[in-house]
Chains A and B, each alone.
Chain A
Amino acid sequence: MNKKEILISLGIALLVAIVLSPFASPHPDGLERVAEDKGFLEKGEGEPLVASPIPDYTFPGIHNEKVATAVAGVTGTLIVFGLGYGLAKVLKK
Chain B
Amino acid sequence: MHIPDGFLAPNVWLPTWGMAIGWIAYCLKKTRSILNDKTIPLMGVMSAFIFAAQMVNFPIAGGTSGHLLGGLLAAVLLGPYAGSLVIAVVLSAQCLIFQDGGLTALGANIVNMSLIGTGGGYLIYKLLNSILPGILGKKIGITTASWFSVMLAAVFCSFELSFSGTIPLKVVLPAMAGVHAVIGIGEAIITFLVLSYVLKVRSDLIYAPMVVAVNHE
Contact = CB atoms under 8 A, between A and B. Distances in A.
A1 B5 contact: no
B6 A38 contact: no
Interface residues of A, number: 59
Contacts of B102: 44, 48-49
Contacts of B48: 9-10, 13-14, 77-78, 80-81, 84
Contacts of A27: 57, 59, 63-65
Interface in A66-93: 69, 72-73, 76-89, 91-92
Interface residues of B, number: 67
B40 A54 contact: no
Given A76-B51, A81-B47, A55 B42 contact: no
Nearest to A39: B167
**Binding site secondary structure of chain A:** helix
A54 B67 CA distance: 20
Interface stretch (B91-99, B122-130, B139-147, B206-214): B91-99
Interface of B: 1-7, 28, 31-32, 35, 37-49, 51-53, 55-59, 62-67, 82, 85-86, 89-90, 93-94, 96-100, 102-104, 154, 157, 161, 166-167, 171-172, 175-176, 179-180, 183, 202, 205
